[in-house]
Amino acid sequence: MESQKKETVLILPTGKVVEAVTTDRKENLPAEIRDHIRTFHEYFFWLEPDDKLIQARIAKALYLADASAKREYENLKESGFYTNIISGNVTQRITIDSIYINSDGYPYTFRCFAALEITRPTSVALRSLITEGRLREMKRSDLNPHGFLIENWIIRENRDISVKQR
């Protein structure tokens, strides 16, 4: 049986010795993929009625995905979605329920199940959101710390579950 050699590094944050052990990326792959997908969805769907904030969040999301996300953004922009968020004082929040990944094959595929809460001055809507796509590995960077790129991203479902008057 072959044993794996682990490298140990000692870190001194705030004067206390902490041991850090290097691991193979494969050991943390599912967690990194889920966090990448969660981060992308939070940047893309968590909206406030502030144009500069929307632009900043969308820009961050687009560093994590390919042209499929850019197309979805452009379609929403062209339909007046973001203008309606701002002019209607609408807030949209996303809660990720679960992310299913298949890391057996490459590129990795995923399906994300989430809920959107859309708060308007007169109502609060709860929507079911299901998206899917695949992930390709790439170099890590400050703008893409996990080193994945979401490709062929599509929204499978975005439908009302309930609407409550305020």
Domain extent for 110: 27-165
Instruction: Give the pLDDT score at 2.
Output: 46
In a domain, 22, yes or no: no
Beta strands per DSSP E along the chain: 8-11, 18-21, 91-102, 108-119, 123-137, 148-165
Block residue for tokens 């004067």: 15
Task: Label residue 1 by pLDDT band (50, 70, 90).
Answer: very low
The reply to whether 73 falls in a domain is yes
> Which residues, in sequence order, are CB contacts of 72 under 8 Å at separation 6+?
153, 155
The model's pTM: 0.85
Number of domains in the chain: 1
Q: What is the CATH number of the domain that holds 83?
A: 3.10.450.230
Q: Would 5 be classed as within a structural domain?
A: no
